[in-house]
Every structure is written in C-alpha cells, then in structure tokens.
Amino acid sequence: MTDLVYTVPQPLAVAMLIALGLATGCQKADTAPAIQAAVRPALSVTAVAPTVLVWPRSLAASGDIAAWQEAVIGSEIGNYRLTEVRVNVGDRVTKGQVLARIASDSVAAELAQSRAAVAEAEAALLEAEANAERARRLQAEGFYSPQMGTQYLTGKETARARLAAARAKARADEIRLGHSEVVAPDDGVVSARSATVGSLAQPGQELFRLIRGGRLEWRAEVTEAELGHIRPGIEASLTLPGGDTVRGRVRAIAPGIDARTRMGLVYVDLPASGATRAGMFARGEFELGRATALTLPQSAVVVREGYAYVYLIEASADGLARVAQAKVETGRRLGDRVEVTAGLAAGTRVVEAGAGFLTDGDTVQVTTSRQ
C-alpha cells in the first residue's frame, strides 16, 4: 500500500504558529494576576500595642438587700379590742409615737379599784400603827401582857405589807393602762402591718414590723477564697434592678462559712435612698484598691469556643505581614479596654480591629500603628 503524505501549505503553517504564540501569551498574561491575587493581603488592619494602666481592683458579688434590724411590735395586754390604727406600711415613725390604741375602759376601771384598795390599806396601816403605839404604852404600865403587845405589833406589820401589795397592784394596772397605746420602740419605717380595727389583741401577737432607723444593708455572698480580700470600711458599689447605682460601706464580715455553698456573707451599710427596698436582689463590686494592668482594646480580643485569642503581627516587609493566633487570659474590664493577665508581653503588636475575620497565618496589610 502506498503511504499518503499531506503537505500543509506554507501560509496556513504560518497562521498556526501565530495562533499558538498568541495562546501561550494569553495564558502567561492570565497567570500573572492569579499569582498576584494569591499574595494579596486578606485584610487591612491597624496594629496596637498593649498599654499598662493603673486600674481600680474590684471584687464582684451579689446578694439580697435586707433590713439592718427589724423590730416586731405587738400588744402587751390581751383580750382587748383595737379601737384605732394610726399608721400604715411605709410610714416613717419616731420613737414613742402612738401606732395603735386598745380599748382601755376595763383597764381604767381596774386601776380605779386598785387605787381605792391602796387608800383602804393606808387607812388600815394608820389604825394598826396607832393600836401598836397604844399597846406599847399600856404594856409599860402593866395593863397589857407581852403577848398582847406582840399581836398589835404584828398587826401593824401586816397592814404595812398589805399596803405595799395594794400599791404594787395599782402600779401594775397603771402600766397595763399605758400599754393600751401601742408605741414605736425606735425611729424607723413601718415595713408590715397586721393590726386592724376591731380585732382582739393578744399578748405577743405581731401588730407591726419596723425597720429600725430605716437602715438597710446589702448581704453580699462571697466565696471563701475571696473573703480574705475584704476588710470592714471598704466601699462597695451596687447596681439595683432598676439600673440605679448605690454606694455603701462594709460594716462587718460573717465569722462563718456556709458548709454547703462555701460562701460567706459580707454586710454592707446602705444610705437612705428611695431606690432601695428590703428584699431586692442586687449585684455589686467591692473596691479593693488600685493596681497596674496590661490592657488592650476589647476589639483586639476574640473569644472563640470559650477561650480568648489575639492575633500577633509578625515582622513585615513592604507593608505586608502575617498574623499568628495567640491564646491569652483576660481579667478586669473597664470601659472599652480589657486586662490581659497572661499570654502577651508588653510591646507586642497585635491586630486592633477586624481580628474576628482572621485565621492563623493570614497575610495582612498594616495601615497604621498606635498605642
């Protein structure tokens, strides 16, 4: 068989060579932007170095607001009806102020009877003293035997004792009559009232509850490890449920720790304020002094999976740099800054903003640096 040979015309071969050259040139031209895109920075960032600042040291706690002391006020006489109730919950009262009145007619009658008994006993004592004096004189003259003289002297002492008993009974009735008025034992604010007009008062029955002096306190719960940092006299700042802020001062620290919760109580005196109420739950901080802190803007710290990270800016060239992810530990926060307690050295540059969009090893372009 004869082999067939095709000959390409010269003009066509030249055209094919030109097309091949153009295709190769286009491929090189397309590759150059791709290489440049591969090294293009992922993000333009601002670098910042940690700053050492003097910050207040504080200890956070929470607890209930309660009355400093609460007095339970009741009746000291029983089976008499309340005829008047003069105060209500929330009223501020003074020591000795009448809070309620109890029917006193029967007590007044008993007092009158006791006073009459005193007058009768006084008259009996005068008669007994006169008889004893007469018996003494007659006995000296021989008209009375020693036995008769002793009887008259005994009668005098008996009459004196009966007078003392009658006076004691009258005094007791006077006191009972005074108890027909229920009075405040101290200055304060009425926090509860169960007294109602027409009800029978019973001894020991609670009629009112009084916050002595209107004083409230914050009973903060603090862990046993932190309790040793607190001393009487230091200040505390409370944030109330409504957002108001109240400042107080530590009065006392409980001597014991709850064996179940491992928490101790710190008692903080609070000033008189319309925003505080007994029974409120409040959060606050104890001011322990001031100390230095290595701080960063909060935007420089990224929290992922419960851990805090910063992105270190490694040595750069021509404005380009790589970032390295570093795990840090954080502490106090003040305003827009956060304390770094471990994992970062002073003077190290980190990414200030946009760190949440970075990953370890990304290329960045540092625009500016600041402290």
Span 162-171, pLDDT tens digits: 999 999 999 9
3-state percent breakdown (helix, strand, coil) of the chain, nearest 5: 30, 40, 30
pLDDT at 51: 87
Q: Is pLDDT above 50 for 23?
A: no
In a domain, 112, yes or no: yes
Confidence band of 40 (pLDDT split at 50, 70, 90): low
| Domain limits for position 167 | 70-201
CATH code where residue 227 lies: 2.40.30.170
In a domain, 36, yes or no: no
Task: Check whether residue 75 and residue 104 sit in a common domain.
Answer: yes
How far apart (Å, rounded) are the C-alpha atoms in residues 57 and 51?
17
Q: Which of 274, 289, 304 is the last residue of a domain?
A: 289
Task: Check whether residue 344 and residue 316 sit in a common domain.
Answer: yes
Confidence band of 221 (pLDDT split at 50, 70, 90): very high
Query: Tell me: the pLDDT tens digits for 91-139?
Result: 999 999 999 999 888 888 888 999 999 999 999 989 888 888 877 777 6
Strands 80-85 and 98-102: antiparallel
pLDDT at 253: 93
In a domain, 157, yes or no: yes
How far apart (Å, rounded) are the C-alpha atoms in residues 27 and 24?
5
Cβ atoms 42, 362 nearer than 8 A: yes
- Which of 305, 300, 318 is closest to 365 using CA atoms? 318
Task: Check whether residue 267 and residue 152 sit in a common domain.
Answer: no
Task: Check whether residue 94 and residue 50 sit in a common domain.
Answer: no
In a domain, 23, yes or no: no
In a domain, 3, yes or no: no
Query: Tell me: the pLDDT tens digits for 311-340?
Result: 998 876 555 788 889 999 998 888 889 999
In a domain, 206, yes or no: no
Query: Tell me: the pLDDT tens digits for 293-310?
Result: 899 998 889 998 889 999
Task: Check whether residue 271 and residue 300 sit in a common domain.
Answer: no
For residue 97, give every residue at least 6 positions away whose Cβ sits within 8 Å of its Cβ, in sequence order, or none.
87, 183, 184
Q: Which of 166, 201, 236 is the last residue of a domain?
A: 201
Q: Which of 175, 201, 227 is the last residue of a domain?
A: 201
For residue 300, report the phi and psi dihedrals to the nearest 5 degrees. Answer: -85, -10
* Mean confidence (pLDDT) of the chain: 83
Task: Check whether residue 349 and residue 359 sit in a common domain.
Answer: yes
Strands 363-370 and 350-351: unpaired
In the chain, the number of structural domains is 3
Structure tokens at 252: 């006392």
Task: Check whether residue 189 and residue 242 sit in a common domain.
Answer: no
Task: Check whether residue 80 and residue 107 sit in a common domain.
Answer: yes
pLDDT at 151: 80
Among the listed ranges 37-46, 181-190, 340-349, which one has the minimum average pLDDT value? Answer: 37-46
CATH code where residue 47 lies: 2.40.420.20
pTM here is: 0.59
Task: Check whether residue 98 and residue 76 sit in a common domain.
Answer: yes
Task: Check whether residue 147 and residue 265 sit in a common domain.
Answer: no
Task: Check whether residue 137 and residue 189 sit in a common domain.
Answer: yes
